[in-house]
Structure 1
Amino acid sequence: MSSEHMQIGEVAARTELSLRTIRHYEETGLVIPSARSQGGFRLYTESDVARLMVIRRMKPLGFSLDEMRELLAATDRLDSGDPLPADERTLLLERVGGFEEAAQRRVADLRTQLARAEEFAATLHERLTRIPAS
């Protein structure tokens, strides 16, 4: 095995994803191992880990598997090194920009939810400190 390849356990540790989750992403076509060992074990590269990290970061923002697939396809095409017609490049950049805007909105929504949750927890704490000891 090449030192540039990692087995699924190392990838799971580095990405903080479970083996089951990584296998699920493989089954859905989001991440395909770059190689297989002679024994049939999945082998991943740094590029595969980076792809899994994109997916991991999209998940808590509520992006669907199809949305993840769409973003990854757009970034794969942009990063391919192949010359792109100007109109295709513009379309791909707009698509990625749309995801960036959606991510920013979802982050703002999560911040609002977190602030409300913190207010609630503080209210409960304050209430508990006002209850006389028995």
Structure 2
Amino acid sequence: MDDTGLKIGEVTERTGLSIPTLRHYDSVGLVTPSGRSPGGFRLYAEEDVRRILLVRRMKPLGFTLEQMRDFLDAADVLRDGRADDAGARETLAEIRAEARTRYEKLLKRLAYAEEFLELVDGLEA
């Protein structure tokens, strides 16, 4: 990659994540920038940003870094059309099922919060 990628500050603006978070993702091998500038600064390609956004969406659902890494690896296998896609499809199915379960739990908690707010508001009526 040449030095035309996005610098870390630009990526933080687009993703809403902090610089330390992006550096951590790089250090643990979750999302590694595609390049470096001549001065050694991280440079992110659009594909890197897409991966970061996937991670950002998984984080509030409580997925571990390992689960995120497994998901990204599986997505890469399927996107590239590699022959070893059976394991990738299984990983995606597991992540999808887990995401659905976590989503439904969040919906229930949200409904409880709305109900609670209605009760609190009703105390002042």
| SS of match in other structure, 1:30 | coil
2:100 to 101, 104, 114: 104
The structure number with the bigger radius of gyration is 1
2:112 to 100, 116, 126: 116
Q: Which moved more, 1:101-110 or 1:89-98?
A: 89-98
Q: What is the aligned-residue RMSD (CA, Å)?
A: 1.1
Tell me the TM-score normalized by structure 1: 0.87
- Letter of the 1:59 counterpart: K
Partner of 2:62: 62
| SS of match in other structure, 1:43 | strand
Name stretches of at least 5 consecutive residues in structure 1 with no aligned partner.
130-134
Runs of 4+ deviating beyond 4 Å: none
**Cα distance in 2 for residues equivalent to 1:34 and 1:89:** 24
Partner of 1:38: 38
Identity of aligned residues (%): 45
| Cα deviation, residue 128, structure 1 | 2.0
| Cα deviation, residue 80, structure 1 | 2.5
Between the two proteins, the alignment pairs up a number of residues equal to 123
| SS of match in other structure, 1:114 | helix
Q: How does 1:75-90 map to 2 (within 5 A)?
A: 75-81=75-81, 83-84=82-83, 88-90=84-86
Name stretches of at least 5 consecutive residues in structure 2 with no aligned partner.
none
| Cα deviation, residue 67, structure 1 | 0.6
Tell me the TM-score normalized by structure 2: 0.93
In the alignment, does 2:47 pair up with 1:47? yes
**Cα distance in 2 for residues equivalent to 1:114 and 1:106:** 12
